Structure 1
Amino acid sequence: MHEQFPTAPSRSSDTRVGINAASLAGGERNVSVTGIVSSEFSLVGIVQRLAGCTDAQSIVSILARSTRDLIGADGVTVVMRDGGRCRYLEEDAIGALWKGQDFALDSCISGWCITTGEPVIIPDIRQDPRIPLPLYEATFVRAMAMTPIVRDKPEGALGVYWATEHEATTLEMAALRALADSAALALANVQLLQELKRSSERKDAFLSSLANELGETLGPMRTSLHLRRQARDPALDARMTEVISEQLDRQARLIENLVDGSQLLTGQAKLHPRLLDLRGMVADVVRRRASEAELAEITLGMSVPDTAVDIWGEARRVSQALTHVLDNSIRCTPPDGRIDVHLEVRDQNAWLTVRDTGIGIARDSLPHLFEPFFKPSYEPARSVAGLGLGLSLVSSILQLHGGDVRIDSPGTSQGTEVVMRFPLGCLTQTPAMPGVQA
């Protein structure tokens, strides 16, 4: 039977501000008064330095160094969750620990701390079954304590280590938790700054694309006007007039799409729904894109139910979403590739899946696909089209219809799967839809 060791107190407001004169007077060991109140390594000073960081690496570096100085431990590690593993990003210690290594969450104490969201105190690592002793044999560690780094959920852990048996005190754990909380806030701020920067960059790219689109229409119009002024041939004059008309139509469509997109993305778009046969609409979109797929040497397959699939919606919007998704697949699938469109009914929903063998999507791009102006970093030449609004519009359209859309890809060069969900409709019931015009 293993001895049960005490754990740190719960995260109450008392322990968060528990570094005070009263607790120091109580004889808390291994934390010096001068160490805590010193101008360089005071908790306030550390928090200020963390708050001023603009990148994650600076945060973990300051956190490791400052925690060791404040707590007075022999070593510190900063661990962050990476999927199903925990990665040791930084350390400051009297001897090497595990910096640069990663372990399965269920195979180490840091993984336990991250998974449970609970702090841990281990006065003697040889007596705790959660410790994988082979990983500690080459280190100086005899005792340790750890607390999770929590934002919305535990994303990492901050650990302190001693070379001799030691049970972390209430004061030490309060300081450790305060540092971990400050690091979590600093990481959240860095993420926000990065998102703002990305958003600004995407808007710049959008404006550049818009300028290019407009430039591509103005160029032919200028040339045509110049030729018309010099033309003596009625046929040439007629042709130049036609070119000008085509480019004006193109500009009008571009402006219409921008206004349309703005209404969808700002929630101002309203639907005028009626009962639609999604099966027929899917078949129509596939038929209209069949020749384009054939020219691109892509096999386009379709499977739909034998009977109508009724949904409530606005035909123009539904067709807009279906067309954009299929166009994306055609643009991003190389010759000899395949696209399969599959419609099925289950769980009171219509599920439309578009699966291709195309260029795929990098895993780090997947969370951003529905953000306005976002474009994957790599696309084939013939897929560079539009202004980066398409998928965000698709998502908005599905939401207006009470549905949703998800996109998945194993990675680049491994194809993509888009799944759209539409609630089923019937003649006797109109579902609640966010975009319905009253």
Structure 2
Amino acid sequence: MELSAPVADDARLAVLESYGILDTPPEQAFDDVVKLVTQLLHAPIAVVNLIARGRQWFKSEVGLGVREMPLDDSICKFALLEESRMVVPDTLNDPRFSCNPLVTGAPGLRFYAGQVLKTRDGVPLGTLCVLDMAPRPEGLTAQQEFALATLGQQVMSQIELRKALVDQQALIAQQASAQAALRQADRKKDEFLAMLAHELRNPLAPITSAAAILSNFKFDEAMVRRASTIISRQASHMTSLIDDLLDVSRVTRGKVELELVELDIKDVIADAVEQVRPLVERHGHTLDLQLAPGQAIVSGDRKRLVQVVANLLSNAAKYTPDGGRIEVALETGPDTVAFTVRDNGIGMTPELIGHAFELFSQGAQGLDRSQGGLGIGLALVKSLVQLHGGSVGAESAGSGMGSTFHLTLPLAAPSAPRREARRGGPDDGQAPALRVGIVDDNQDAAVTLALFLETSGHTVTVAHSAGAALAALPAFAPDVCLLDIGLPDMNGFELARALHGSGGAARPVLIAVTGYAQDKDRDAALAAGFDDLLAKPVSLDTLNTVLARIGLGHGPRQGTAPALTRLPAG
């Protein structure tokens, strides 16, 4: 006779497995119960029997001398079909067991009584059973039934208690692990903030010194150019640091919008190489390019993919001592393109490889800190690659053995028409002369921006408050207004609405200039009537391009509906 499905189903076995009691060592609490039941029921054999998959396993036993037996010969498995207890006075008289080898052969079992062990949810796990080699036609007395039921409850209580203790220990371990992770994250945060402060202070020293030089009336033209170059370079470095932080924030929150086009990954590599070439040459590295022949067309955001490849190349350059070698390889397969960057630099330990792509994870900082940067490039790389449907990984033979980074991207579908990313056009370049109004309570920022626009041929007026802007701008009749959002008397959104309501024959193009350039800020700018939004610090090249398009009539102009564009931050 086969065991019915309800007893042998996977759900019951899964519950049994969840108790974690199978194949555990003997325990005194269970052994004591088994010894006691043999005395109370005057039986030579007693077992705590758990019915597992394909076997019956004994948590505790007296009189058998084994820990498990095959399920085929089990008597207990039939007890699981009962509500609470099964008693067989004479197994030879029961057709279910009359041919059982444990009955007809050794040890010659003739009597069986088993109390079902059920969970609180009523799932049967096994039995507390007693067996005898002599039949008992009278079965169990009422007192014996009570003893067997009570001790069965004790066994099940022990099983439940044991599981509760194991679960509690696992929870304590989990909490300890979580607390350790929080401490580690807090330590990484503190290290990152300290390093960020260091990185942001570094450019301030040369900027301050250069500004002091320019404030001295005894200087020549060469000195002015040199000081201006220093300020420009260090300001660009600070902007790059801030952009990296904003990029990581946007990517980790899923706020990045990719501009997917069909492009050749070789062009991406070429652009990235040009970006990092000064760093490579400064360290005297040899850069070896091994690119597979033919095109490798992928669907991706050109700017972001260049950012990914440049990060991998600059990472190799930073962590490779002077005079090292960096190898770049590109291979194409049927469906993917594989890009590899290999260096003979300081290498990575297995622990560092495991955390290399985590945010704020830092390795050896000697070489990297000498080059600057926030150490968040690899986290950004991983997120951007995943957004493109690809994968990235790292490997190293150990410290001092160099590192290898692998990047895989899916190839574009062959049937898809190719559309190259725009890399400039006739509208780019110097803007036609415009009348520009600047409103910013930061006087230094407003004046320096005005000086730049005036040297570019524009006519500029500056106001440092919303009230002053409302008084001066209507008479000035600007073509474009650059409005700071965080004004003291009236914010930029309110000022934009006020300018819209001030009347006049021509409405200027309104461009928000703000340190906040998230999607919600862009949406708020659009709702307030702005035509564009630029993030501080404003990229002068970007501003020049925007003004050029407005001057050539390709941007939103007087009286037209607002058309907020997604411009690059800074």
Range class of TM-score, shorter chain: 0.5 to 0.7
1:193 is aligned with what amino acid? Q
CA–CA separation in structure 2 for the residues paired with 1:322 and 1:187: 41
The equivalent of 1:263 in structure 2 is: 250
Residue 29 of structure 1 aligns to a residue whose secondary structure is helix
Is 1:247 the counterpart of 2:250? The answer is no
Match in the other structure for 1:12:
15
Alignment of 1:136-215 (within 5 A): 175-215=161-201
Structure 1 match to 2:259: 272
| Ranges in structure 1 where 5+ consecutive residues have no aligned partner | 1-8, 19-26, 33-118, 130-168, 431-436
Match of 2:396 among 392, 395, 409: 409
Q: Distance in 2 between matches of 1:31 and 1:122?
A: 9
In structure 2, do the counterparts of structure 1 residues 231 and 120 end up closer, same or farther at CA, with 3 Å as the change threshold?
farther
Name the structure 1 match of 2:210.
Answer: 224
Question: Structure 1 residue 241: deviation in Å?
Answer: 4.1
Measured in 2, the distance between the counterparts of 1:291 and 1:219 equals 23
1:15, 1:174 within 8 Å by CA — same for their partners in 2?
no
For 1:389 and 1:421, locate their aligned partners in 2 and report how far apart those are by CA, in whole Å: 20
Identity between Structure 1 and Structure 2 (%): 28
Distance 1:306 1:199 in 2: 45
Amino acid aligned to 1:328: N
Q: Among residues 281, 297, 311, which one is paired with 1:310 in the alignment?
A: 297
2:400 counterpart letter in structure 1: S
State the partner residue of 2:310.
323
Distance 1:266 1:213 in 2: 24
Q: Helix, strand or coil: the match of 2:31?
A: coil
Which whole-Å CA distance do the structure 1 matches of 2:20 and 2:235 have between them?
67
Structure 2 counterpart of 1:396: 383
SS at match of 1:344: strand
Whole-angstrom CA distance in 1 between matches of 2:58 and 2:259: 57
CA distance in 2, matches of 1:339, 1:400: 27
Counterparts of 1:276 and 1:297, CA distance in 2: 31
Q: Distance in 1 between matches of 2:58 and 2:319?
A: 50
Whether the aligned pair in 2 keeps the contact of 1:214 and 1:251 (CA below 8 Å) is yes
- TM-superposed CA distance for 1:309, in Å, is 0.3
Q: Which has the higher contact order (CA 8 A, sep 6+)?
A: 1
1:29 aligned onto 2:16: no
Alignment-derived partner of residue 343 in structure 1? 330
* Residue number in structure 1 paired with 2:355: 368
Distance 1:272 1:237 in 2: 40
Q: Is the 8 A contact 2:20 2:163 kept in 1?
A: no
Conserved 8 A contact 1:28-1:171: no
Q: Deviations over 1:383-407 (max 9, x none)?
A: 6531121011101110111111111
* CA distance in structure 2 between the aligned counterparts of 1:343 and 1:278, rounded to whole angstroms: 9
Answering whether residue 428 of structure 2 is matched by residue 426 of structure 1, we say no
Offset, 1:333: 1.7
State the alpha-carbon separation in 1 of the partners of residues 231 and 281 from structure 2: 31
Structure 1 pair 14–325 and aligned structure 2 pair: CA distance change class (3 A): closer
Aligned AA (2:199): E
> Relative to structure 1, is the Cα distance of residues 123 and 429 closer, same or farther in structure 2, using a 3 angstrom cutoff?
farther
Report the CA distance shift for 1:170/1:301 in structure 2 as closer, same or farther (over 3 A).
Answer: farther
Distance in 2 between the 1:218 and 1:180 partners? 57
The offset of 1:355, in angstroms, is: 1.8
What SS does the aligned partner of 1:12 have? helix
Residue 416 to residue 183, structure 1, CA distance change in 2 (3 Å): farther
- Counterpart position of 2:269: 282
User: Closer, same or farther in 2 for the Cα pair 1:228/1:300, shift >3 Å?
Assistant: closer
Bigger shift: residues 319-328 or 335-344: 335-344
Question: Cα distance, 1:428 vs. partner?
Answer: 3.0
SS at match of 1:355: strand
Cα distance 1:421–1:293, how it changes in 2: closer, same or farther (>3 A)? same
d(CA) in 2 for partners of 1:120, 1:413? 55
**Is contact 1:300-1:338 (8 Å) kept?**
yes
Q: Larger radius of gyration, structure 1 or 2?
A: 2
CA distance 1:383–1:177, shift in 2 (3 Å):
farther
Selected match of 2:374 from 359, 366, 387: 387
Number of residue pairs the alignment of both structures matches? 290
> Aligned-residue CA RMSD in angstroms?
3.8
Query: Structure 1 pair 288/380, CA: closer, same or farther in 2 (3 Å)?
Result: closer
Query: CA separation of 1:128/1:341 partners in 2, compared to 1, >3 Å: closer, same or farther?
Result: farther
Q: Which runs of 5+ in 2 are unaligned?
A: 1-11, 22-28, 35-56, 69-154, 418-565
For 1:334, give the aligned amino acid.
P
Structure 1 residues 403, 120: closer, same or farther in 2, change over 3 A?
farther
Partners in 2 of 1:281 and 1:14 — Cα distance?
A: 53
The offset of 1:366, in angstroms, is 2.1
Q: Distance in 1 between matches of 2:413 and 2:326?
A: 30
Distance 1:281 1:224, change over 3 A: closer
Is the CA contact (8 Å cut-off) linking 1:277 and 1:309 kept in structure 2? yes
Q: TM-score, normalised by structure 2?
A: 0.45
Structure 1 residue 31, shift from structure 2 partner: 7.5
Relative distance call for 1:170 and 1:364 in structure 2 (3 A) is: farther
Cα distance in 1, alignment partners of residues 190 and 205 from structure 2: 22
> Aligned partner of 1:221: which letter?
I
Q: 1:123, CA displacement in angstroms?
A: 8.1
Q: Is residue 219 of structure 2 the alignment partner of residue 233 of structure 1? A: yes
Give the Cα separation in 2 of the matches to 1:299 and 1:322.
17
Matches of 1:237 and 1:14 in 2, distance apart? Answer: 78
Cα distance change of structure 1 residues 234 and 292 upon mapping to structure 2, 3 Å threshold: closer
1:351–1:121 CA distance, 2 compared to 1 (3 A):
farther
